[in-house]
Structure 1
């Protein structure tokens, strides 16, 4: 190890014991006085040496609290890490011109030994010295260094004991700060749970026990003091989401893949909610020991998203499905019909006389007519049918597969009667009827565009023949009328 590396190691060890510039301590003062008495000198010190100075942790005699490191006799002991005795410094070429020899405190005799501390790896590292000094020369005795070495052992024990106490105090302070941080983070997490309406859960696979954070109890509307109702947890999820959740958990256990899903939920107070639940595996030594995850109440968000979706699919005036939703549902129903080998019918409806209502009675009356038409479409249709407003005075109905050809015509005839609407206002009367074009998916090959074209052809055939009636498209070009 180079001199610079050794110096860095000594300074690191000195910094770690945190002894520099600390107040006087009785144990170190007693040790310095004992060295002074045992060797019969006028001065003694327990000295620590940093990069710029020598600083006295304890001192006896006319010594300053600290001096520059360069000319200090203890520096020789510190850097060589060996004991040093000087009978008369004035006669030693190394120290004859030393400012502490030619000036205060006029050092003549000197004896010093290293004071060391042990590192974590067990290696002793010098941090300072224990020395005695006198302003009169004297012949060093062999026992001088032995006495100082034994007293240095005591100094090292004091330093180590103090270092242990400092480390214990630091550890205690770190634990206190860590506990404060954990408590702060716990409070912040609880606040975040409340704001986000969420909580965390953990299911111990071996113990078959689930633990919840406060946020989970809040979502369930259960008191935390009552504990987790382990035997009833799944009862908060109604079917079919309960079975879907259990299947997804099993898949996670089998594959290790995490999941996130939305599900219906009913609180302990019977309130229906919508939740988002996530789950992943916790491993220990490569083996699954628990499932962990989050549960979040997304009822408000889900409701908002549903309202937005409904608005995007709904005609604002009539609250019927709009054109985009009509096409989406029709595509879905056509796929289902093809899969089942069945067929379904589509009705296209055009209002006759509607422009006259707007012209004679105003747009408010026209809007009222459109709303009345929507109500009658909803009332006269089958439960599984879909009435829609395609735009203006154009409407459509998807007839479910359960309604066959024999049942359709009576339904259409009732609808024609329902669409006969008389409007009177301020002494003026207007009349509205509906003309209907009918087409079947089997004759359109299950193609949506072709099916709607067939219904449109039938609608205009009916209009040309007699408004307020209905016609069914046939490949042979023959339409059967109704109304």
Structure 2
């Protein structure tokens, strides 16, 4: 297929999802904000690329609603359908003279990955990008790229869900009613959000009295009185946030510097809230007279961001950690082990006979096997293990740092037994076992890539010997047979 034909296919797919030039939507805005916060950049966007322009479905930072396509970064990801990383735009001849580099928003760093949609024929076509940008050059780690790719998959899921809802509205009355119900619930949510979800307070330093606006009473689920609450601002905050808030207030009184923080709050009706609090000093005749600030109910936003972070870090089928989250957890354990001169054990697990389950019993049975394996890895027998699904029929585990090699060998023998699964149906029987490769971080200098290579080498050594067994990597000599 020529470049012209591929471009026409992408533009057709973009038109089919009916997303270009639509109003802001909370889910997409929250996803862009999660990408910005998790990768620590000044800007982020979910971008759709039209023939002559690029348009932002969601954006964070000093980005216009849309820009011309020429000299922009996202169209390159759109056209190549591959990730693009530019550590320093001023050093890249493709972008050094771009209007977006030499002028506002002065982009010096860019990282973007494709956002694709699946068409009726099964072909996945790029319609835009998920990207993060910054005014300062920076390096991108493999974990950053993996995280950005996982967040792009969430964007794809949001687009797919939205597209399915629109299609359903056109094909059947039942679907139309479902879409209307979703839209009604969204309007109800927006109205509820607009009902005093923010309030102000003032603490008189000399009188030691506090006054609340009506909005603060609403957040605390208290009846609005004469502005005088029965308790102080900190009384409803939960620990450790109460201590953090008190410490910040004392620092503001000492230094005059304002602060802003998020905290958990328990309302008068016993309901949990997530709030954002700010505080600064009010001066009178050059002297501190009061502490003033705002309290905003961000419960729904916090829950949505938490849910999106969970989706970005979790394998949807098994609800185990996904590959990117496994790497993050392993890096943390390796850092702890390096600091404490300890040792971390890593297991790589490959299921034997899994393809036979799919071939003989169907993919639903294969999915059931994967969920069963996940349940067994989460069982109390393997308490404090950190299991993950890396993809397909591959799993991995980080074992507790205080688990010795002899104890791990004993538990691995039990795990091999737990991974023996027999599935039957439709007149067929399929058997699945697990083969395990084990490696220890001390023999890999606590380096993630090296310890995973060691575990992988032990895994395939075990497979060559006999499937359904386990071997431990050794620096010298062949891998040691465990069971």
Q: Please give the range of the TM-score, normalised by the shorter of the 2 chains.
A: 0.5 to 0.7
Which residue pairs with 1:287 in the alignment? Answer: 287
Distance 1:229 1:383, change over 3 A: farther
Which residue pairs with 1:298 in the alignment? Answer: 298
Which residue pairs with 2:325 in the alignment? Answer: 325
- Shift of residue 354 of structure 1? 0.4
- Shift of residue 235 of structure 1? 3.0
- Deviation track 1:254-292 (CA, whole Å, cap 9, x = no partner) reads 222211111111111111111111111111222211111
Asked if the contact 2:323/2:391 (under 8 Å) is kept, the reply is yes
Moved more, 234-243 or 375-384: 375-384
Which residue pairs with 1:313 in the alignment? Answer: 313
SS at match of 1:195: coil
- Deviation track 1:59-84 (CA, whole Å, cap 9, x = no partner) reads xxxxxxxxxxxxxxxxxxxxxxxxxx
- Shift of residue 387 of structure 1? 0.8
SS at match of 1:317: coil
- Deviation track 1:199-229 (CA, whole Å, cap 9, x = no partner) reads 1011111211111001111111112228644
Which residue pairs with 1:406 in the alignment? Answer: 406
Which residue pairs with 1:336 in the alignment? Answer: 336
CA distance in 2, matches of 1:469, 1:316: 28
Which residue pairs with 1:348 in the alignment? Answer: 348
Asked if the contact 2:361/2:428 (under 8 Å) is kept, the reply is yes
- Which is greater in Rg? 1
1:60-459 counterparts in 2 under 5 A?
194-195=194-195, 197-225=197-225, 228-229=228-229, 231=231, 233-379=233-379, 382-459=382-459
Asked if the contact 1:257/1:280 (under 8 Å) is kept, the reply is yes
Compute the RMSD of aligned alpha carbons: 1.9
CA distance in 2, matches of 1:477, 1:320: 34
CA distance in 2, matches of 1:481, 1:267: 58
CA distance in 2, matches of 1:286, 1:335: 49
- Shift of residue 341 of structure 1? 2.1
Asked if the contact 1:205/1:291 (under 8 Å) is kept, the reply is yes
Q: What's the TM-score once normalised by structure 1's chain length?
A: 0.58
Q: Which runs of 5+ in 1 are unaligned?
A: 1-190
Moved more, 345-354 or 361-370: 361-370
Q: What's the TM-score once normalised by structure 2's chain length?
A: 0.58
- Deviation track 1:388-423 (CA, whole Å, cap 9, x = no partner) reads 110110000111212222321122111111110000
- Deviation track 1:33-89 (CA, whole Å, cap 9, x = no partner) reads xxxxxxxxxxxxxxxxxxxxxxxxxxxxxxxxxxxxxxxxxxxxxxxxxxxxxxxxx
CA distance in 2, matches of 1:228, 1:479: 72
Asked if the contact 2:196/2:218 (under 8 Å) is kept, the reply is no
Q: How many residues align?
A: 293
Distance 1:352 1:235, change over 3 A: same
Which residue pairs with 1:51 in the alignment? Answer: none
Q: Which runs of 5+ in 2 are unaligned?
A: 1-190
SS at match of 1:243: helix
SS at match of 1:244: helix
